[in-house]
Amino acid sequence: MSRIADLAASNALIGYILNTQSRLHDLETQVSTEKKSQTYSGIANESQHLINIENTNDLLAQYVRNNEIMDLRLEVAEASITGLEKTVKDFQDVLLTFKQADDFSEQSVKDIQDWAFQTLKTVESYLNTEADGRFLLSGARVTTQPADLGLTTLAAFQTEYDGATVTFPTTRDAHLSDFSISQDGAATPLTDWLIFERDAGAGVSRITATTGQFANIDAGAKFTVSGTASNDGTYTVQSVGGGGTTMDLVTEMLTDEANEAAATLTKIDGTVLNSVELTDLSFVRATDTITAGTVGSLAGIGVGEAFTIGGTTSNNGTYTVVSNDGTNIVVKPKYLTDEGGVGTEVDGTLTATSYYKGDKTTISHRVDDDRSFSYDLTAIDPAFEKVIRAISILAQGDFGTEGGLDQNTTRVNDVMALLDIGLTATVSGTPPYGTELTSNVEQIQRDLAFDRVLINQMNDSHKQLIGFFEAEIADTENIDRLEAVSRLLDDSQALEASYQALARIRSLSLHNFLPI
Are 89 and 149 contained in the same domain? yes
Residue 254's alpha-carbon distances to 154, 196, 236, 258, in angstroms, are 30, 18, 18, 12
Q: Do 259 and 282 touch, CB atoms closer than 8 A?
A: yes
Mean pLDDT of 397-426: 94
Q: Do 279 and 292 touch, CB atoms closer than 8 A?
A: yes
Tens-place pLDDT, residues 423-447: 998 888 899 999 999 999 999 999 9
In our burial notation (b when 16+ CB lie closer than 10 A, e otherwise), range 123-152 reads bbebbbbbbeeebbbbbeebeebbbbbebe
Domain boundary among 456, 472, 489: 456
Q: Identify the band that residue 205 occupies on the pLDDT scale cut at 50, 70 and 90.
A: very high
In a domain, 50, yes or no: no
Are 146 and 291 contained in the same domain? no
372: helix, coil or strand? strand
pLDDT of amino acid 1? 46
Are 198 and 217 contained in the same domain? yes
Number of domains in the chain: 4
The DSSP 8-state label assigned to residue 240 in this structure reads: E
Distance, in Å, from the CA atom of 416 to the CA atom of 396, rounded to the nearest integer, reads 15
Are 243 and 341 contained in the same domain? yes
Domain boundary among 352, 387, 417: 352
From 38-52, 325-339, 369-383, 409-423, the region with the lowest mean pLDDT: 38-52
pLDDT of amino acid 251? 94
The DSSP 8-state label assigned to residue 334 in this structure reads: B
Indicate whether 283 pLDDT > 50.
yes
Tell me how crowded residue 433 is: count the other CB atoms within 10 A of its CB. 21
Q: Above pLDDT 70, what percent of the chain?
A: 89
Q: Do 90 and 425 touch, CB atoms closer than 8 A?
A: no
In a domain, 452, yes or no: yes
Are 236 and 341 contained in the same domain? yes
In our burial notation (b when 16+ CB lie closer than 10 A, e otherwise), range 473-493 reads eeeebebeeeebeebbeebee
In a domain, 290, yes or no: yes
The backbone region for 102, taken as left when phi is positive above 0, alpha when psi lies in -120 to 50, beta otherwise, is: left
Domain boundary among 352, 385, 407: 352
With vertex at residue 178, the alpha carbon angle to CA 163 and CA 208, rounded to the nearest 5 degrees, is 75
Tell me how crowded residue 55 is: count the other CB atoms within 10 A of its CB. 11
Are 342 and 229 contained in the same domain? yes
| Residue whose C-alpha is closest to residue 84's, from 381, 362, 300 | 381
From 11-25, 49-63, 228-242, 446-460, the region with the lowest mean pLDDT: 11-25
pLDDT of amino acid 191? 92
**Per-residue DSSP letters for 267-329?**
-TTS-EE-HHHHS-EEEETTTTEEEESSTTTTTT--TT-EEEEES-SS--EEEEEEEE-SSEE
| Residue whose C-alpha is closest to residue 94's, from 415, 436, 426 | 415
Mean pLDDT of 209-214: 96
Mean pLDDT of 74-87: 97
Are 201 and 229 contained in the same domain? yes
Are 401 and 439 contained in the same domain? yes
Q: Please enumerate in sequence order all residues whose Cβ is within 8 A of that of 333, keeping only pairs 6 or more positions apart, or say none.
A: 252, 253, 254, 288
From 42-51, 162-171, 224-233, 293-302, the region with the lowest mean pLDDT: 42-51
In a domain, 182, yes or no: yes
In a domain, 163, yes or no: no
pLDDT of amino acid 19? 76
Mean pLDDT of 452-479: 86
The enclosing H or E element of 8 equals helix 7-33
CATH code at 103?
1.20.1330.10
| Average per-residue pLDDT for the chain | 90
pLDDT of amino acid 385? 98
Distance, in Å, from the CA atom of 396 to the CA atom of 133, rounded to the nearest integer, reads 35
Mean pLDDT of 122-133: 95
Are 200 and 346 contained in the same domain? yes
Residue 14's domain comprises 1-34+481-516
Are 376 and 409 contained in the same domain? yes
Mean pLDDT of 410-434: 93
In a domain, 43, yes or no: no
More confident residue, 485 or 252: 252
Are 222 and 348 contained in the same domain? yes
Distance, in Å, from the CA atom of 205 to the CA atom of 252, rounded to the nearest integer, reads 9
Mean pLDDT of 410-431: 93
In a domain, 311, yes or no: yes
Tens-place pLDDT, residues 295-346: 999 998 999 899 999 999 999 999 999 999 999 999 999 999 999 999 999 9
In a domain, 208, yes or no: yes
Are 79 and 182 contained in the same domain? no
Distance, in Å, from the CA atom of 319 to the CA atom of 280, rounded to the nearest integer, reads 18
pLDDT of amino acid 27? 63
Mean pLDDT of 368-390: 95
Tens-place pLDDT, residues 212-246: 999 999 999 999 999 999 999 999 999 999 999 99
Distance, in Å, from the CA atom of 127 to the CA atom of 357, rounded to the nearest integer, reads 11
